[in-house]
């Protein structure tokens, strides 16, 4: 099959998978909506335009999921082998995307580029 896969960044220093941990820490209904958007992203081969996704920096884009007053953001990029890698997720509370959150996603992105084994299916 010629399908795209959703994969998760794995941090070898902490042994954690940041996006999975974020999803595990939020309400079930919100998690379900984010997972539905992630599946929508996969079905569209990692290419969604606004309002669903937005380019952030370099190859990194953000999946935008609003639920009630909460604005969830999941940073991702499309990688070789038709992998959509989820890098980092956070609850957006400001108008502009905080540089600290972008920095976390960029750090995870650069770790994968330097060591492609750092993602988990």
User: Could you tell me the residue ranges of all domains in the chain?
Assistant: 5-120
CATH number among 3.40.50.2020, 3.60.20.10, 3.30.2310.20, 3.30.360.10, domain 5-120: 3.30.2310.20
pLDDT value of position 1: 54
pLDDT at 42: 96
- Predicted confidence (pLDDT) at residue 121 exceeds the cutoff of 60: no
Task: Pick the more confident residue, 1 or 19.
Answer: 19
Inter-residue long-range contacts of 85-89, CB under 8 Å, 24+ positions, other chains counted: 85/7, 85/8, 85/9, 85/112, 85/119, 86/6, 86/7, 86/8, 86/9, 86/19, 86/38, 87/9, 87/18, 87/19, 87/60, 87/112, 88/9, 88/18, 88/19, 89/18, 89/19, 89/22, 89/23, 89/34
Please, which pLDDT band fits residue 52 given cuts at 50, 70 and 90? very high
- Per-residue pLDDT, averaged over 85-98, amounts to 96
């Amino acid at each position: 099959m010629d399908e795209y896969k959703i994969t998760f960044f794995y941090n070898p220093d902490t042994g954690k998978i940041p996006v999975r941990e974020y999803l595990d820490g939020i309400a079930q209904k919100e998690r379900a909506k984010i997972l539905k958007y992630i599946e929508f992203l996969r079905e569209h081969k990692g290419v969604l335009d606004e309002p669903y996704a937005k380019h952030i920096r370099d190859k990194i884009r953000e999946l935008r999921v609003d639920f009630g007053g909460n604005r969830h953001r999941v940073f991702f990029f499309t990688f070789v082998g038709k992998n959509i890698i989820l890098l980092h997720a956070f609850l957006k509370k400001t108008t502009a995307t905080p540089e600290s959150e972008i920095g976390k996603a960029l750090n995870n992105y650069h770790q994968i580029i330097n060591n492609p084994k750092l993602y988990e299916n």
